[in-house]
Chain A
């Protein structure tokens, strides 16, 4: 079952912060985050494993809440280069292949 991402789209000014959520109705074992720019392939950002850890990549970090079966991606002090579509991919059962959400379109304006 596909994870649900929210919001579907967000527009920011440079320097503003954003949060993108990824929720599942099933138990999650890992959550992957990817960013895709228009006309390009998705690019890996980070993986969070079951255990509620938080990871960071530049000014982008993420958390994994096991109780809520949810992961959140935090974009701090956004830059123009952050624009793109963000996808979460979830491992719904141990050893299962990733199922991706529908994506969140992020646009950062000057």
Chain B
């Protein structure tokens, strides 16, 4: 099993550009989440999904969109990149709310 995979690993965007961060898992997990981690800080929840077709907002959803058309994939879209979105983005999946979360390797995004 590959677990949770994320692409790309690194990305540089100019202010105003849009892009999609990809996340996929092969563990048949219902729960998937996107977090951002800023230097010296913890993980902040952006959006999450409790199953295909169901998504909801986390703590810091502004500027991001998600969709979940399949169990396996949970892409994160940046609509119009801003320097404040420079961060490391982690995707995670779990079998349930109280199950262990398995994190992908992360995407390091820089917005100039």
- Which residues on A are within 8 Å of B, measured CB to CB? 2, 30, 32, 34, 40-44, 47, 49, 87, 89, 91, 95, 97-103
Contact = CB atoms under 8 A, between A and B. Distances in A.
B98 A30 contact: yes
Query: Interface SS of chain B: helix, strand, loop or mixed?
Result: loop
Query: Interface SS of chain A: helix, strand, loop or mixed?
Result: strand
Contact of B42 (A32, A44, A102): A102
B50 to A, nearest CB: 9
Contacts, number: 50
Q: Interface residues of B toward A: which range? A: 20 to 34
Given A42-B90, A47-B98, A49-B98, A100 B42 contact: yes
Given A32-B101, A44-B100, A91-B98, A100 B106 contact: no
Given A95-B97, A102-B40, 14 more contacts: A2-B42, A32-B101, A40-B105, A41-B105, A41-B106, A49-B98, A89-B43, A91-B97, A97-B33, A97-B97, A98-B45, A99-B59, A100-B35, A100-B42
